[in-house]
Amino acid sequence: MTGLLDGKVAVITGGGTGIGEAAAILLAAEGCRVVVSGRRADVIETVAKDISGLAVAADVADEGDVAGLFKACDDAHGRLDILVNNAGFGGGGVMGAADMDMDAWERTFAVNVRGVMLCIKHAIPLLERQGGTIVNVASIAGIKPNMRQIPYGASKAAVISLTRAVADEVGALGIRVNAICPGAVDTPLFRANAAERSARTGGKVADDVKRIAGLSSLGRLTTCEEVASGILFLATEASGSVTGTRLVMDAGKV
């Protein structure tokens, strides 16, 4: 039985956990050869081993690391068809404009915006050989930011804008560029943040999770596997005329 992505090659950043891991597993199941990247070598190596992929440790905010990532992909496979820009930083916690931690601001933009741009920059020479697709994992926070979480929302808004700008530029090369905007996704990071909020307020983790889930029309969190299915759609010919847009997957929050 053939897969939707037989013969294709993908690079997935932040591929060791959560959405990135789910995307790596799904794309590999559809016949794609996946390069799994992240800062923690042990984590990405575990995922890569499970899907017979290639693990390449890299910090997306470091251009030398990013250049090395795409060279490793080219050396191993001789092509690139799909880039999933999933690596992200949560913004450094809850803070308002008047008490902004500028170090957290800089780190957020370094990973969430600079990292996306660097990966796009170094992916284009590979993608333009035969055409391909880029999926940037943004967030509904880039559409409707959360109060006192300014760095994260601003960075994801930048990713949405960058998506459209690059799509307009590279369409003639046969490259499509889209953003996917998840809402609250049930990831290890989400659960850790829920625990942190609960410890700060003296509440229960289960109550915090229920509260967040209740903000959506469906009354639940989005799963990593659901977001991965959106990434798969944007990576296949099923979305062949889709570029420069954003796909919201938030259980109906915005």
Residue 147: which pLDDT band, with cuts at 50, 70 and 90? confident
User: What percent of the chain is helix, strand and coil (3-state, nearest 5)?
Assistant: 50, 15, 35
Confidence of residue 1 (pLDDT cuts 50, 70, 90): low
Q: Which CATH architecture has domain 9-185+223-249?
A: 3-Layer(aba) Sandwich (3.40)
Query: What is the SS3 string spanning 190-229?
Result: HHHHHHHHHHHHCCCHHHHHHHHHCCCCCCCCECHHHHHH
Q: Please state the rounded mean pLDDT for residues 146-172.
A: 95
Residue with tokens 């991965």: 228
Q: Write down the domain spans for the chain.
A: 9-185+223-249, 186-221
CA angle (86, 42, 35) in 5-degree steps: 45
Average confidence (pLDDT) over 211-239? 96
Please identify which of the residues 152, 176, 227, 239 carries the catalytic annotation: 152
Q: pLDDT for 9-27, tens place per residue?
A: 999 999 999 999 999 999 9
Mean pLDDT of 108-121: 98
The reported pLDDT for the residue numbered 204 is: 93
| pLDDT confidence bin for 201, thresholds 50/70/90 | confident
Query: Catalytic: 121?
Result: no
What average pLDDT does the structure give for the chain?
95
